[in-house]
Structures are given as C-alpha cells and as structure tokens.
Amino acid sequence: MATASSLLSEEKFLCSVCLDVFTEPVSTPCGHSFCRACIQKCWDNSDDCKCPLCNRTFSPRPELQVNTFVCELTAEFKALVQVKASTPEPQLPGTADVLCDICSDMKENAVKSCLTCLASFCKVHLEPHQRVAAFKSHTLLDPVKNLDDRMCKTHNKLTELYCRTDQACICLKCFKTDHKSHNVVPLEEEYEATLAKKDETMANIQKMIQSRSEKIAEIENSVDVSQREAEKEKEASVQVFTDLICSIQSSQAELVEVIEERLRATKQKAEAFLTELRMEVAELESRSSQLEQLSQSEDHHHFLQSFPTLCSPLNKDWTNTGVHSNLSLQGVRDELTLLRQRVDEIKEEIPEINEKDQMKRMRKHAVDLTFDPETAFRNLVISQDGKQVTNGGRDQKRPKNPKRFEICPEVLAKEGFTTGKFYYEVQVKDKIGWIVGVVREPVNRKENTPLSVENGCWTIGLHDGIYRAYRKPSVELRLKEKLDNVGIFVDYNKGVVSFYDVNSKSHIYSFTGCHFREKLYPYFCLEGYLNGANSAPIIITPVPQTH
C-alpha cells in the first residue's frame, strides 16, 4: 500500500491546464478537476464549453462547484512541497539564476529547460515531462536563459539547423527558402563538429593567453625600467636646477655685497671730505670773527700785523673735488637679462606633456592682429574694428594700391614679423571654402599664382569639402571633426609654421625646415561667394590668456 506522502506526490493534484498545483479546484460534469480560473479562462476564450481532457461538450455552460475533497488534499500536498523545498538541492553552475516559468507565487529555480515548450521548469512542474507520454518526446537540457532566442524571428519555429555558409542557426522554413543552396546541417552535427575543434581552440587560446601574459610582463618591466629612469632623470634634473639656483643666489649675494662695499667706500670718502670741509669752514668762520673784532680796534699796529694772516687763502682747492658713485652695474644686468632669455629658450625646449599644454605654451606668444584694408580684394568688407572680413559678393570702390590683391578674395594682416614666435586664432565657422596661414611680404598680388612653399606661402584650407595643406603637391588632411577655429603658430627663427584645431586642442599640420628671410604676414582667403553659400566671415578671435 502506498504511503500518504507517495499518494500526495502523484500528478492527480496538478491542473492539466496550467500544470501547477490546483488553486481553488472545481470539477466538471464529466468528473475532471481544474483550477477555477483555468477552466473559466478556457471557456471564455472558446465558442463552446469543452473539457480540456476528454473534449466533452456542455450546453448550457455548467455552474462549477469547488471540489472540497481535492481542495483538502491539495492543501496537504502544498504543505508537503514546502517542507521539501526547505532542503534545497545543489544547482548546476550557471543555472541557479534560471527560474521556473510555471510557478505563480514564489518562483523556484529551474532544473530543466524544454526546447519544445520553450520554457524552464522546477522539479515539481517538470514531473509531467517525465510521466505524460506526449511530453516524453520533448528535448530537455540544463536550465538556460532566453529560450526565445532559439526561435526563428521570421517563422517563429525552433532553429534546429545550422547554415555553415552564413554561420547562423536557422529553422526548417529558412532552409527551404533563403538557405536552399547553402551548406546546411543539423544543429547537433555542427555541434559535434565544432566540439571536435575544442582542444585545438583551447590550445590556441592558451597560446594567446601565454603571449599576452608575456607581453603584460614585458610592458610591466618596461614601466619599472621607465620608473627607475624617470627617478634618475628627475633627480639629476632637480640637482641641476638646484645647483643653478644656488649659483644664482650666490652670485646675487656677491653682487649685492659688491654694491654695498662700493657704497661704503663712497660714504667713507665722502665723510673724509666732509670732515675736512667742516674744519675749513670753522677756520674761516673764526677768521671772519677775528677780522670783525680787529676792525673795531684802534690799535692800528696790531691790525696791520694780523690782517695779512687772516686774509691768506686756504691751501686746498676744492673745485674739482667730488664723490662719484661707481655703483652702476648695467653691464652685469644686461648679461643677466640675456641669461634669462636663454633660460626661457631652454624652457621652450622642454617637451610638452600633451597637446593641451602645447596650446597653453603657444598662447603665451599671442599677437594682436587686424585686417589691412590696403591689401583687401575689392569685394571684401572689413569691420570697423578690423577683426572681421566678409566677402560681399560684389565689387567695392577701392583706390589703386600696389599692396592690394586683384585676383582672388584675399587680405593680409597689418602686422608683419621678422623674428621670434607669434600665435593667433581665426574663426572659419560656417564657411565651405577658406585658406589661412602666412605669406612672405613680396607675395604676388596681381597674378593668379598657386599657393605653395616655393611661392612663399605656408597655408592650409578647405575646398570642395576636403581639407588640404597647400604645397607642391598638396597634402590632404584627414580630420576627425569639422574645423571651426584654427590656431596658427610660427617660429620664425626655427622655420616652423603649425596649425591647430583650437576646439579640440589638437595638431593639424606643420611646415618644417622653412628658411624665412623676409617679413611674414598672416594671410586670409575667403574663397568664392557661391551665391551666398560661402558668405560667412573670417574672424580674428581673441586668444584666451594663459597663466
């Protein structure tokens, strides 16, 4: 005889509609039991009232009553299930987070997934697959997530085939339509073939792991070496600067001491002169007093004897005597100024950490520019402050001038440069054609001469949607973003002209190895008017101050 627990574990207490333990079980006239909600939903969605198990039709729709006997047994069964659930079974790795799709209240972890039902089941709800003959033919596997991904999105069929041509899982309808001429095999066959490559793939993965591990060790070792080299270089550099600072401080102290010693000598000399002069003044004042007294005396004999002595001049001539302070050290200061300039030059040679620091350093050489109306092409309009130039699209009345450009809409800045470094920024936003850079002073302004280094022009620009550096031949510039603001930096002495994207603070292009012998002028070309499509101005923008 079966025990109570074995009787309670049988499938008689599972609703055949939801495959879950009965909830408020009711019986149909044919004697089968279902959850009240399940049987009512079946009948609500059907034209007639049939039993889901024996297909017996009831008309009219019967009034369902709760089966109290089944209800009591169901309650005992649920209590038993809860006791068993308190002792969880070990889960396979990676399956503990796959939940049963049938549990209605507290979701249990799934123990199997069914590829036919496209659902995952806990131990209780898996039981029909192990008992019912129709379910035993279903394909069960360890719990997996996203079972819907195994369905063909086009035909809503299970993907049971594998197309080696397209390397995709497909269903039978896909094979008959889009993959008819492809190399298609059953999914299991492709699995076995792929599984056979596992060892080779694992070996290759291990090789890649090994090679990358060796590269990691190499890079880490390089970092360690760089760290040690950086410490040595930092220590040596700090020592050089420390020695230089100490030397400068010592020289400063010596220089101050020299000045103070010269001042002391000057003061000592002056004090000696002052002492002697004061003594002579006192002597002369004494004579003056004696002479005044003698003049009041009636002793003519004494007066005549004393007068020559009182009137005799003092021996020392003070006419050319003076204190000349030899305190000026202008020559030393000039030499120190040159030293400071040299130190600044050395600082310029220190490599920048990044392009942002490079931009910051260049902006220290910013210059204030204005457009030169005497050079402007006849259809160009310059703003009152001289910072903005526009292509008006039609000729303006302009006086003849040998400086004026007469072929293209070009203009120069008033300011020219023959030495040192200078930097400025130009806005070209919304323009579809433009050229900026620097040109030498005698650039041809009356003929259509190509822009090139050979013709004394160091420029870049935008034409037909392509950015170019104008040399022979021109160089196409591949930029990540559209240029709105261009920074131009020139080192006259080193022969370098560089262009930068001001917004991203990134380098665009540089002309190097140039030999400048004449004055350089900032150059601007607005290109064609193009019926207003290229009417946006070129603007000389203020350069932000850096600290």
Per-residue pLDDT reduced to its tens digit, 338-388 = 777 777 666 666 655 455 677 888 898 999 999 999 999 999 999 999 999
What does pLDDT average to over the chain? Answer: 84
Distance CA 339, CA 333 (A): 10
What is the band of 4 on the pLDDT scale with cuts at 50, 70, 90? very low
pLDDT of residue 431: 94
Determine the average pLDDT of the residues in 49-56: 83
Q: Quick check: bond before 60 cis, omega within 30?
A: yes
Determine the average pLDDT of the residues in 299-318: 78
Phi, psi dihedrals of residue 386, rounded to the nearest 5°: 75, 15
Which of 180, 184, 181 shows the shortest CA–CA distance to 164? 184
463: amino acid identity, one letter: H
Number of residues that make up the chain: 547
Task: Give the best-scoring range by mean pLDDT among 53-67, 79-93, 187-201, 376-390.
Answer: 376-390
pLDDT above 80: residue 77: no
Task: Give the best-scoring range by mean pLDDT among 42-46, 64-68, 450-454.
Answer: 450-454
What distances in angstroms separate CA 53 from CA 13, 309, 451, one per listed residue?
15, 163, 92
pLDDT of residue 536: 94
The model's pLDDT over 247-305, given as tens digits with 9 standing for 90+, comes to: 888 888 888 888 888 888 888 888 988 998 899 888 888 888 888 888 787 787 877 88
pLDDT of residue 405: 93
Bridge partners (DSSP) listed for residue 318: none
Q: Considering the entire predicted model, what is its pTM?
A: 0.46
pLDDT above 90: residue 389: yes
Which of 263, 420, 255, 258 shows the shortest CA–CA distance to 333? 255
Bridge partners (DSSP) listed for residue 66: 26
H or E element in which residue 258 lies: helix 198-296
